[in-house]
Copies of this chain bind each other. A is one copy, B any other.
Amino acid sequence: MTQTRPKPTGSTGEQLLFLTDEQLRQGIELMFFAYRGFTADPDLILDEHGYGRAHHRALHFINRRPGLTVNNLLDILGVTKQSLNRVLRQLVEDGLVESRTGRNDRRQRNLTLTESGRDLEAALSQAQRARMRRAYSTAGAQAVQGFREVLEQIIDPDMRNRIDRLLESRE
């Protein structure tokens, strides 16, 4: 996610921003309304299948890192195992997710998507990407770069580290 972390190469001094409460409030409201748009399209598909956002998140990250352990997923999602388990159990029962005992450490469960799990994930991803693609295209490449830089800064620092560790590194 953070393959490029160059300091902003902007022409303006980044420490010298004058940020009014009004400007910041606009950004806050943008985040609020944009997140609604961000989840709107997948939500429609999920609803048809009787699933919710929690299922989407699980499918996404299992697809992202096949073989992910339950503990890893818990760490990424930041929920309790009871909460995740409810969702995960459904997905396994419905044949979208496979949970296999770990080879090295047999206490662990490695999670992967089945064929139909990949199908649903693809449908959800595609819907969500379509909106992002339109937004990116309309806003332009430079705006996208800024979008990414600001969002990265909004994330909790230790979460940033955890993301890199759990999602980017190889075993």
Contact = CB atoms under 8 A, between A and B. Distances in A.
A81 to B, nearest CB: 18
A148 B30 contact: yes
A16 to B, nearest CB: 7
A1 B30 contact: yes
Interface residues of A, number: 67
**How often does this chain occur in the complex, in copies?**
2
A152 B8 contact: no
Nearest to A137: B17
Interface in A110-160: 125, 128-129, 131-156, 159-160
Interface of A: 1, 3, 8, 10-12, 14-17, 19, 21, 23-38, 40, 57, 60, 64, 78, 125, 128-129, 131-156, 159-160, 163, 167-168
